[in-house]
Chain A
Amino acid sequence: MYLELPKSLEIVVNQAHQVAKHVFRPISRKYDRAEHDYPKELDMLAALMDGLNAGSRNRGTGIDALQREQGCEQGVRNGANMSTCLGMTELCWGDVGLAISIPRQGLGNEAITAVANAEQKKRFNGVWAAMAITEPGAGSDSANIRTTAHLDGEQWVLNGEKIYVTAGSRADAVVIWATLDRNLGRAAIKSFVVPQGTPGMEVVRLDKKMGIRASDTASIALTDCRIPKENLLGTSDIDTKRGFSGVMQTFDNTRPVVAAMGVGVARAALEHARELLGREGIKVRYRGPLFSKRAAEAELIRMEAEWEAGRLLMLKAAWMADNGVPNSTEASMSKAKAARVANEITLRCVELCGGVGYSEQELLEKWARDSKIIDIFEGTQQIQMLIIARRLLGKRSSELR
């Protein structure tokens, strides 16, 4: 047992940290204020990330590098899942909104990697894809999707409305979740790649948000939107036994990455609060009873312990994925824990720093706004708890609802 970061991943961590420090942090406030302005620095960054990945031959920080490793040839692996989590941690230490706006690193790319066939992977290589699941009437209960797809000759015709699509207006394409037959439930839900500019798909609005304002969140309307038959990801067969597992498997890989976002932003807040409090004479020492310390020091230590828990759960879930061990429960645990402590920590750091923490002169208040979404997207805290509880208790979703 060895639970330190391997030397082999230090490069990835360092690269991502440099990006976070020198690219994200200097423009963090700028794009927080200028919501919906396109951060042009990101195009450079995308080129930079591609270059870094090509140069290090280590499937770098991109979410599209995520893959479930099948078995392990020799010994233990610290692979793409772990390096992606570590990279994302660093990027979100810089800025969560910018980190999830890097071109070609979208969630849709993850869906393509997970479900697409060889021909599709080739065809969509280099395409920046957003992911559209949520609808006005279906959020966490994604089995209840109303957007429909029906085959008309050689084309799929899509109709429906999608909301909360991250990078929905900036991405080259949107992966749309739609049902082939509402009567057949989850098994009939498939994903479709719709290139931006396809007639019938329209970005109808951009949401104004409390946090991650550098990231665009779009509402998309689909009205008789026609796409080639080959743009359905995976198979069009409706396998009621297998059901949802195909599309949902994507989440086992992405949840630790969302946990990483929480780990990153929480570390930013903790480090900065520690520095500001240090100037007031609060020093953190890992000795003596917690109750004999000044309250601020004790609180910093408590938060650090919670933060470490989120970080280590993330690493565990990623390690399992890298080594071909099923990790649905652990992926959900890491997301649930890291996200909730990230929100608690960022909020508490504002409180501990008082007016300075609350004011826009520091980024603490921004981090406390940004962190909230991490406990909501990719499955809310409550959805993660349901997943974990169902697994532990051996319950179906019809029993434990």
Chain B
Amino acid sequence: MDNQKIIDEVMGGGLRVLNRIADSPLVERLGLEARAQRLVYQGAKRAAETAAKAAKRRSPKRSGDRSSKPRKFDLNLSEEQQLMRDTLRRFADDLMQPAAREADDRSAPPDDFVDTFAELGAIAMAVPEEMGGAAEQVSAVSQMLIVEDLARGDMGLAYAVLAPLSFANALVHWGDADQRARLLPSLLEGDTTASVAVVEPHPLFDPSEPRTTAKKRGTDFVITGEKSMVALAECAKWFLVAADIPKTGPRFFVVDADASGVEVTKEPAMGLRSAGLGHVKLDKVRVGRESILGGETALKAQGGAAYDEAVNRARIAWGAMALGTSQVLLDYAIPYCNERIAFGEPISHRQAVAFMIADIAIEIESMRMLVYRAASRIDAGLACQREAYLARTLCSDKAMQIGTDGVQLLGGAGFIKDHPMEIWYRHLRSVAVMDGNLLL
């Protein structure tokens, strides 16, 4: 039995006894309340002192995992993270927001957009130094902040640049040495682009059980299935495809876009259009064993664990997408409601309007806390399946509510394309739909 358990039992037992004393009519009848209370006070004081001492003895042993300092609840960002935020926010506000409308009309990002983003070095910041990148430390929180800030610019454009970043992240987390050496350099240089293909075009899609299969043929695998809503589908050189290996479970495969049997078609959707969405059909695509992300070891149990982790990381990423877009929506709605006059005063003077604003703000904070917590658990080396699932569940509901309320606040102006509100509405519908295709 560990110390904590002993403490629990000692204290619990003590309290049960004390409660019985308190309840006893005898104490009252004998006029012993004051004395009994003193007894309780002393007993409790001793129990607390014992508990405090035991906890002190216990702590150094346990805290050997990460740092020697006991960790505290802390919402502060590191200096590096704050610096990155400032840069990305400027990028989002100055470059992405003005480009969003045209890119949505064209169903593709502006020609030089992906390159401009590459110049920011975001991929390099995600890849550790020993793999040719510039990151001192790989952090899920940092990645999540990148997603949030980019989605503040435009969710569709963010999706476009996050696809190759997600591909690089997968290599960093789970790729083997050969795969990193083969694929990372040109991604880091910005010469080639790549994308992640997990989502499939059918209702009730479950990333843990993809219908796309990878069947063994000798030393190769043959992949068959359909992938949906893939970003940069037409210009990606490689796809990271999620496919189920019978009797083994789902794994990732690096599939060359030029491979025989791969067919890419445009797949414009309600929103996210500026990401250049595409449908990827895989018809008996033959890939070598070296294509399994992580190589041979991925066929063992750790490959399954890595896949599950990728599912969690995708959920956190889409939650961060919801955050960024919801926040910019609120920042836009506030001045609009203050300036829009009806019945002789700003509409924000009406509770029906003001309460909608308050509600949006509350739910953004709610989403933010759940998403941040899930990401911070990854950095702390803790399991995050539950937290990522809950974050996704909350964001699926709240993001769309915020989207529809945002349009409502602007009224007719929210419905026409003079304002960005209708784009955000269409983007925010994707949060509940997209369960994959990105990863931190």
Contacts and interface: CB of A to CB of B under 8 A. Distances in A.
B is bound to A: yes
B40 to A, nearest CB: 5
B36 A44 contact: yes
B72 A23 contact: no
A302 B397 contact: yes
Interface string A27-54: 1000000000000110111111111111
Given A8-B72, A286-B386, A18 B8 contact: yes
Contacts of A26: 19
**Dominant SS among interface residues on chain A:** helix
Nearest to B356: A389
A95 B306 CA distance: 43
A15 B51 contact: yes
Contacts of A373: none
Interface string A70-84: 000001111000100
B393 A41 contact: no
Nearest to B15: A22
Interface stretch (B232-240, B278-286, B347-355): B347-355
B33 interface: yes
B204 interface: yes
Interface in A161-192: none
B105 interface: no
A118 interface: no
B208 A290 contact: no
Contacts of B41: 47-48, 50-51, 54
A350 B309 CA distance: 35
A270 B19 CA distance: 26
Counting chain B residues whose Cβ lies within 8 A of the other chain, the interface size class is: 35 or more
Contacts of A337: 362, 365-366
Q: Name the residue among B357, B358, B391 with the largest chain A CB count within 10 angstroms.
A: B358
B338 A15 contact: no
A298 to B, nearest CB: 9
Nearest to B54: A11
A1 B49 contact: no
Contact of B76 (A76, A286, A330): A76
Interface stretch (B85-93, B190-198, B373-381): B373-381
A153 interface: no
B22 interface: yes
B55 A395 contact: no
Interface string B328-371: 00100010011000000000110100110111011001110110
A165 B334 CA distance: 38
Nearest to A5: B73
A339 B379 CA distance: 31
Contacts of B74: 1-3, 76, 319
Contact of A2 (B367, B380, B386): B380
In this complex, the interface size class of chain A, counting residues with CB under 8 Å from chain B, is 35 or more
A312 B349 contact: no
Interface in B242-294: none
A241 interface: no
A5, A14, A382: most-surrounded residue (chain B CB, <10 A): A14
A82 B75 CA distance: 13
A200 B74 CA distance: 50
Interface stretch (A212-220, A229-237, A303-311, A361-369): A303-311
Nearest to A17: B8
B12 interface: yes
A58 B45 CA distance: 12
A3 B51 contact: no
A281 interface: no
A52 B390 contact: no
A401 B36 CA distance: 53
Contacts of B7: 14
Given A286-B385, A313-B369, A337-B362, A6 B72 contact: yes
A4 B11 contact: no
A385 B393 contact: no
A392 B361 contact: yes
A58 B53 CA distance: 13
B43 interface: yes
A290 B358 contact: no
Contact of B366 (A11, A292, A302, A313): A313
Contacts of A8: 70, 72
Interface string A248-280: 000000000000000000000000000000000
A319 B75 contact: yes
A26 B12 CA distance: 13
A313 to B, nearest CB: 6
A301 B393 contact: yes
B366 to A, nearest CB: 4
Interface string B160-186: 000000000000000000000000000
B141 interface: yes
A386 B351 contact: yes
A6 to B, nearest CB: 5
Interface in B311-342: 311, 330, 334, 337-338
Contacts of B334: 392-393
A43 B18 CA distance: 11
Given A41-B19, A48-B40, A312-B369, A286 B141 contact: no
Closest 7 CB pairs of A and B: A55-B48, A51-B44, A309-B366, A312-B369, A389-B354, A286-B389, A55-B45
Given A22-B12, A312-B370, 6 more contacts: A23-B15, A40-B22, A40-B23, A43-B37, A301-B390, A316-B365
7 contacts: A2-B73, A4-B71, A4-B73, A14-B8, A52-B45, A309-B394, A395-B354
